[in-house]
């Protein structure tokens, strides 16, 4: 849809106006090219007063007005009021309340924007092994999901995605909605260059809907709708595995994974069954939760990285804290560069998790930064620059309602990358103190892994 003449013209026209506008908000949504792709739950979300934003043509609800009357009152003391209009623009407080309710009970998140590709055939394993840094074939069991990356020739991070082995030569590839089309092209390009023609690549994105069901009550909720509740136990349905379920007569492919630090599943099913599944869960008391929780707030509380934001081809997996403990024997694209990076005693910069230790401006207003801003040396007032000439800025920033802090991610030069180090964030020409909480991957939110994986 992004190649159609109307879409291209309208977006270019709107983008040109944004470029020459003095101040465009980082979260400002496009007005053109809207309502092009909607999930099967769209009408239900409209009825709930969804606050929609758009990604890759998909309408995505960031929160639901229907939750405001109950959840905002319940969690008011943990959700700060954003006094500054700029910080509050295109943000809805209810999304924070929805996250807190999910952590206390159970919530569902519409993930139908996921790009889903089924790849099968005699060359499927060879192709995906060559593309992926992680091992996805060989001794990997059927039903096992593996989080992995694609690299460019220089070892830069081209993509992050999940690959689930469904059979000997049968895989499901799940990518982010706004990167999936690029991954699709890359998969086809590498297959062509390597002469791996015996594959069948099916784009299932517009066929399979996805709902994330998470929270401490996720298992007991789902158990109401399956024939044998024991099949959902941790022993019978281990973490990071997938299998078919029958939910009140609906065929559902369930994947036990968590991007939000709570136990539960991603549930995949044909679009035609979408309203049936949504209504079953909603009537069972499951709270609809906006994508703000999934893509922003809980993601940063868990120190999870986002492709095209925290993960870029300009940085490598060692700098991002996502390197594998071992390098697989099989060749893969970018392996030579990856091995060279592994041999270095230290990297030029490291992706760090940071918090703001003070966020009140000169007028006494508490600020909640949005967008990307320079990170400075507090002694010199200069932007940090690593040995490769890359300047430091926050790649992500958000208020984390579960930890009660403003959390940032950003690449920091190695000579500054120490836990406890105090740095400065420049936001609208004012300086705010920030502190490095973790170098590499370490979550601020106590995910209680036993709870997630149990």
Residue 48 lies in a domain: yes
Structural domains in the chain (count): 2
The reply to whether 128 and 93 lie within a common domain is no
Q: Which residues contact 241 (CB under 8 A, 6 or more apart)?
A: 143, 144, 145, 255, 256
The reply to whether 120 and 269 lie within a common domain is no
In this predicted structure, what is the pLDDT of residue 209? 97
In this predicted structure, what is the pLDDT of residue 21? 79
Domain holding 137: CATH number? Answer: 3.30.70.1400
Residue 391 lies in a domain: yes
How far is Cα 101 from Cα 105, in angstroms, rounded to an integer?
Answer: 6
The reply to whether 227 and 276 lie within a common domain is yes
- Angle among Cα 46, 302, 442 to the nearest 5 degrees reads 170
Domain that holds residue 285: 34-107+209-303+345-454
In this predicted structure, what is the pLDDT of residue 17? 87
Between β-strands 430-439 and 422-427, what pairing exists: parallel, antiparallel or unpaired?
Answer: antiparallel
Q: Which residues contact 15 (CB under 8 A, 6 or more apart)?
A: none
In this predicted structure, what is the pLDDT of residue 440? 94
How far is Cα 380 from Cα 44, in angstroms, rounded to an integer?
Answer: 54
- pTM here is 0.95
In this predicted structure, what is the pLDDT of residue 315? 98
Q: Which two tokens stand for residue 374?
A: 């320079």
Map the chain to HEC letters. CCCCHHHHHHHHHHHHHHHCCCCCCCCCCCCCCCCCECCCCHHHHHHCCEEEEEECCEEEEEEEHHHHHHHHHHCHHHCCCCCCHHHHCCCCCHHHHHHHHHHHCCEEEECCCCEEEEEECCCHHHHHHHHECCCCCCCCCCCEEEEEEEECCCCEEEEEEEEEEEECCEEEEEECCCCHHHHHHHHHHHHHHCCCCCCEEEECCCCEEEEEEECCCHHHHHHCCCCCHHHHCCCCCCCCEEEEEEECCEEEEEECCCCCCCCEEEEEEEHHHHHHHHHHHHHCCCEECCHHHHHHHHHHHCCCCCECCCECCCCEHHHHCCCCCCCCCCCCCCHHHHHHHHHCCCCCEEEEEEEECCCECCCCCECCCCCCCEEECCCCCCECECCCCCECEEEEEEEECCCCEEEEEEEEECCCCCCCCEEEEEECCEEEEEEEEEECCCCCCCCCHHHHHC
Which one, of 247, 307, 241, 268, lies nearest residue 117 by Cα? 268
The reply to whether 102 and 234 lie within a common domain is yes
How far is Cα 145 from Cα 174, in angstroms, rounded to an integer?
Answer: 10
Residue 407 lies in a domain: yes
Q: What is the chain's pLDDT, residue by residue, as a tens digit (454 residues)?
A: 888 999 999 999 999 988 887 788 999 999 999 999 999 999 999 999 999 999 999 999 999 999 999 999 999 999 999 999 999 999 999 999 999 999 999 999 999 999 999 999 999 999 999 999 999 999 999 999 999 999 999 999 999 999 999 999 999 999 998 899 999 999 999 999 999 999 999 999 999 999 999 999 999 999 999 999 999 999 999 999 999 999 999 999 999 999 999 999 999 999 999 999 999 999 999 999 999 999 999 999 999 999 999 999 999 999 999 999 999 999 999 999 999 999 999 999 999 999 999 999 999 999 999 999 999 999 999 999 999 999 999 999 999 999 999 999 999 999 999 999 999 999 999 999 999 999 999 999 976 665 777 7
Domain termination site, one of 151, 180, 203: 203
Domain termination site, one of 203, 231, 261: 203
Domain holding 434: CATH number? Answer: 3.30.1360.120
How far is Cα 24 from Cα 16, in angstroms, rounded to an integer?
Answer: 12
In this predicted structure, what is the pLDDT of residue 447? 62
Place of tokens 């281990």: 238
Which one, of 222, 129, 213, lies nearest residue 171 by Cα? 129
In this predicted structure, what is the pLDDT of residue 448? 65
The reply to whether 131 and 62 lie within a common domain is no
The reply to whether 260 and 184 lie within a common domain is no
How far is Cα 69 from Cα 87, in angstroms, rounded to an integer?
Answer: 23
Domain termination site, one of 150, 172, 203: 203
């Amino acid at each position: 849809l992004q190649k159609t003449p109307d879409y291209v013209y309208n977006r270019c026209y709107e983008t040109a106006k944004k470029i020459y506008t003095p101040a465009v908000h980082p979260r400002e949504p496009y007005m053109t090219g809207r309502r092009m792709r909607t999930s099967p739950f769209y009408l239900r979300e409209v009825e709930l007063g969804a606050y929609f934003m758009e990604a890759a043509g998909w309408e995505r609800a960031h929160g639901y007005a229907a939750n405001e009357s109950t959840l905002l009152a319940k969690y008011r003391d943990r959700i700060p009021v954003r006094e500054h209009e700029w910080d509050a623009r295109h943000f809805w407080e209810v999304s924070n309340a929805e996250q807190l309710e999910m952590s206390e009970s159970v919530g569902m998140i519409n993930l139908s924007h996921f790009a889903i590709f089924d790849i099968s055939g005699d060359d499927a394993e060879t192709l995906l092994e060559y593309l992926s840094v992680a091992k996805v074939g060989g001794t990997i069991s059927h039903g096992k999901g593996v989080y992995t990356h694609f690299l460019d020739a220089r070892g830069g991070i081209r993509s992050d995605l999940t690959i689930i082995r469904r059979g000997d030569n049968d895989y499901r590839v799940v990518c982010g909605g706004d990167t999936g089309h690029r991954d699709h092209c890359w998969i086809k390009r590498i297959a062509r260059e390597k002469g791996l023609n015996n594959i069948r690549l099916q784009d299932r994105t517009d066929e399979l809907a996805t709902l994330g069901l998470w929270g401490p009550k996720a298992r007991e909720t789902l158990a109401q709708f399956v024939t044998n509740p024991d099949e959902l136990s941790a022993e019978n349905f281990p973490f990071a595995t997938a299998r078919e379920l029958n939910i009140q007569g609906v065929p559902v492919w369930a994947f036990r994974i968590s991007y939000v630090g709570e136990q539960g599943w991603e549930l995949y099913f044909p679009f035609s069954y979408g309203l049936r599944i949504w209504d079953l869960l909603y009537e069972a008391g499951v709270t609809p939760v906006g994508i703000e929780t999934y893509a922003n707030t809980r993601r940063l509380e868990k120190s999870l990285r986002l492709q095209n934001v925290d993960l870029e081809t300009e940085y490598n997996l060692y700098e991002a804290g996502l390197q594998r403990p071992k390098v697989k024997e099989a060749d893969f694209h970018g392996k030579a560069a990856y091995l060279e990076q592994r041999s270095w005693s230290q990297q030029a910069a490291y992706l760090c998790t940071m918090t703001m230790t003070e966020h009140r401006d000169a007028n006494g207003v508490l600020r909640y930064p949005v967008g990307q801003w320079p990170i400075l040396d507090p002694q010199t007032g200069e932007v940090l620059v690593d040995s490769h000439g890359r300047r430091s800025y926050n790649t992500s920033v958000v208020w984390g309602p579960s930890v009660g802090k403003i959390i940032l991610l950003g690449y920091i030069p190695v000579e500054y990358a120490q836990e406890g180090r105090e740095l400065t964030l420049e936001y609208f020409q004012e300086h705010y103190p920030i502190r490095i909480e973790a170098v590499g991957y370490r979550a601020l939110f106590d995910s209680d892994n036993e709870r997630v994986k149990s």
